[in-house]
A = this chain, B = another copy of it.
Amino acid sequence: MIEIEQLKRTVIQCSLPAALEAMGERWSFMILRATFNGLSHFEQFQTTLGIARNILANRLSRLVEHGILERRDCPEDRRKVEYRLTAKGEALLPTLIALRQWGEKWEANVPNNPVLVDARDGKPIADVVVQAHDGRTLGLGDLRWVDRSDLEADQARCIYTGEPVGAK
């Protein structure tokens, strides 16, 4: 059992709460999925997702505020606006695909359709996994949490057990 006491040395600065501040809501992920699929107009989102207009407007504003989408005039019709993924939004691709793959394996009763394939060879993409710097796949048991200052001092040890991590 973990003793929270042991952790007091480590200043926890995890960016997961900040990430969830931006994305921690079901509709935000669904809108993001729609933009990954090329949708960009309010009416398209509304029709495709069947989301209430006020909720959609609210979620789009939040995604724009967080710099995940950008709002700009539609080049074909300047009275309309479109929402486009920024680089920051595009960087959510691994998260979204990991979540979809998890849902396919563990939640859905049917295989995903459409299938995501690599444009170059037309083959389905691999499962999103956690990897070591050299590409080995890592599970939860292969990970350790290390204080950054210890890591920088080349004295990595687990923040929970105090045991050294990695071969010396």
Closest 8 CB pairs of A and B: A122-B166, A19-B103, A15-B103, A24-B26, A15-B108, A18-B107, A114-B145, A95-B98
- Of all chain B residues, the one with the shortest Cβ separation from A47 is B4
Q: How far is the CA of A138 from the CA of B111 in the complex (A)?
A: 22
Q: How far is the CA of A110 from the CA of B12 in the complex (A)?
A: 11
* Residues from chain B with Cβ under 8 Å of A126 in the complex: 131-133, 135
Q: A15 with B125: in contact, given A90-B139, A117-B156 (CB under 8 Å)?
A: no
Taken residue by residue from 92 to 136, chain A's Cβ proximity to chain B (1 for < 8 Å, 0 otherwise) reads as 111111111011111110111111111111111111111111011
Partner of A132, one of B12, B21, B111, B118: B118
* Residues from chain B with Cβ under 8 Å of A36 in the complex: 140
Instruction: Assess whether A64 is interfacial by the CB under 8 Å rule.
Output: no
Instruction: Assess whether A2 is interfacial by the CB under 8 Å rule.
Output: yes
- CB contacts under 8 Å to B, within A36-82, are 36-40, 44, 47-48, 66-67, 76
Please tell me if the beta carbons of B156 and A18 are within 8 angstroms of each other in the complex: no
Q: A14 with B132: in contact, given A95-B99, A144-B119 (CB under 8 Å)?
A: no
Told that A15-B104, A20-B29 touch, could you supply 18 new A-B pairs with CB distance under 8 A?
A1-B38, A2-B39, A4-B47, A14-B113, A15-B107, A16-B103, A19-B99, A88-B106, A114-B159, A115-B147, A115-B148, A118-B136, A118-B143, A118-B166, A120-B136, A122-B165, A122-B166, A124-B133
Q: A125 with B117: in contact, given A19-B102, A21-B107, A98-B98 (CB under 8 Å)?
A: no
